[in-house]
């Protein structure tokens, strides 16, 4: 029995020793494949690097706990290869493949806290999805466009250009409230990114939209609504002279002469210097002073308004109504 026990122990030790030798050989082989991946990454052969890292990871899973440290190193490198290869694919017009790989890079970067890959992936995924959503908008597939923009913003909630596209889509859908929210966010976040082009595009879209509404309201003699629409313009651009001018027109028609003077004064300061533009503003200032009973000031303003399309009305006020000296 003693001889049998000794043989059993000896065989067990031999088997353990053999197993350790094979495990070490497997670990060395996995390390070699990992190094090949690193060389491919340095050479910017990102697809090869991914293949090698994934192969080495598979080997580590078979080896088990002995490969713990090697496995951890591979898991740090893999998201970088996926990230850069994803960008390459997008650059080469293979957008869907690139997007999928960037999402994979993001998923793998989070457990290892690779902040560069996390931040970069979030940014580019949002940008790509934003462009995809905009293509849907151009095809008038508005509901799916909005869903795509929302997905984009789940990756980067401060993506100014995505908010711009979203605002443009809501404009096409005649959803003023959501258009405003999106465009104003576009301005805010674009400026945080020093992207003045996107901010200005958002301003122009919102401003133009509401200026059109002011003019329509004035034509319909709905002056209270014209003022409301003017206030919307000023949320986008509080130095936009034409909005103040139209508000002055509306206030005068509502007999709110002090408000008309305030708006017209702002219009003078923020409008272009063309004589026709200035004449129209002076005409409204004249009407406001006239309404307040300040004949002297009204005459001065009407005299300055006597030009172009405003000349006949201004001269009539001067000569026939106020009989200015």
DSSP secondary structure letters along 164-217: HHHHHHHHHTT-HHHHHHHHHHHHHHHHHTT-HHHHHHHHHHHHHHHHHHHHHH
- Domain end, chosen from 173, 194, 215, is at 194
CB atoms within 10 A of CB 238: 11
- Reported as a pLDDT band with limits 50, 70 and 90, residue 24 is low
Q: What is the pLDDT of residue 66?
A: 86
* Structural domain includes residue 81: yes
| 293 pLDDT more than 70 | yes
Report the predicted TM-score, pTM, of the whole model to 2 decimal places.
0.86
Reduced to 3 states (helix: H, G, I; strand: E, B; else coil), residue 173 is coil
- Domain end, chosen from 194, 226, 255, is at 194
* Structural domain includes residue 12: no
Section 127-135 average pLDDT: 97
Tell which residue, 276, 221, 272, has the closest CA to residue 250.
Answer: 221
**One domain, residues 77 and 133:** no
**One domain, residues 80 and 124:** no
* Structural domain includes residue 255: no
* Structural domain includes residue 287: no
All residues at 6 or more sequence positions from 249 whose CB lies less than 8 Å from its CB, including other chains = 218, 223, 226, 260, 284
* Structural domain includes residue 55: yes
**One domain, residues 158 and 176:** yes
- Reported as a pLDDT band with limits 50, 70 and 90, residue 13 is very low
What CATH number is attached to the domain comprising 185?
1.25.40.10
Per the model's pLDDT, the better-predicted residue between 198 and 30 turns out to be 198
Domain count, the chain: 2
First to last CA, the chain: 138
CB 276 within 8 A of CB 309: yes
- Domain end, chosen from 109, 138, 160, is at 109
* Structural domain includes residue 241: no
Q: What is the pLDDT of residue 25?
A: 59
**One domain, residues 132 and 89:** no
Range of the domain at 82: 20-109
CA 30 to chain centre: 44
Express each pLDDT in 28-55 by its tens digit: 888 899 999 999 999 999 999 999 999 9
* Structural domain includes residue 214: no
Express each pLDDT in 154-188 by its tens digit: 999 999 999 999 999 999 999 999 999 999 999 99
The token duo for 12 is 């067990």
């Amino acid at each position: 029995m003693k001889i049998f026990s000794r043989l059993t122990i000896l065989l067990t030790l031999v088997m353990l020793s053999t197993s350790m030798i094979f495990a070490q050989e497997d670990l060395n082989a996995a390390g070699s494949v990992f190094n090949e991946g690193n060389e491919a990454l340095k050479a910017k052969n990102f697809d090869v690097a991914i293949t090698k890292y994934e192969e080495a990871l598979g080997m580590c899973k078979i080896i088990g706990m002995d490969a713990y440290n090697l496995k951890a190193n591979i898991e740090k490198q893999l998201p970088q290869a996926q990230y850069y290869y994803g960008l390459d694919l997008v650059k080469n017009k293979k957008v869907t493949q690139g997007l999928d790989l960037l999402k994979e890079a993001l998923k793998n970067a989070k457990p290892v806290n690779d902040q560069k890959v996390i931040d970069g992936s979030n940014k580019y995924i949002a940008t790509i999805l934003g462009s995809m959503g905009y293509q849907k908008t151009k095809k008038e597939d508005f509901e799916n466009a909005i869903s795509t923009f929302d997905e984009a913003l789940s990756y980067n909630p401060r993506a100014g250009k995505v908010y711009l596209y979203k605002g443009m889509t809501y404009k096409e859908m005649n959803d003023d409230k959501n258009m405003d929210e999106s465009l104003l966010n576009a301005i805010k976040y674009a400026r945080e990114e020093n992207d003045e082009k996107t901010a200005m595009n958002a301003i122009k879209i919102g401003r133009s939209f509401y200026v059109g509404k002011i003019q329509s309201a004035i034509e319909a003699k709905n002056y209270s609504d014209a003022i409301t629409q003017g206030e919307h313009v000023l949320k986008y651009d509080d130095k936009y002279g034409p909005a103040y001018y139209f508000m002055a027109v509306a206030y005068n028609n509502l007999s709110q002469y002090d408000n008309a003077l305030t708006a017209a004064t702002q219009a003078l300061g923020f409008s272009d210097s063309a004589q026709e533009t200035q004449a129209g503003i002076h005409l409204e200032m004249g009407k406001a002073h006239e309404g307040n009973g300040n004949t002297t000031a009204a005459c001065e303003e009407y005299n300055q308004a006597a030009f172009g399309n405003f000349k006949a009305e201004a001269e009539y006020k001067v000569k026939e109504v106020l009989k200015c000296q």
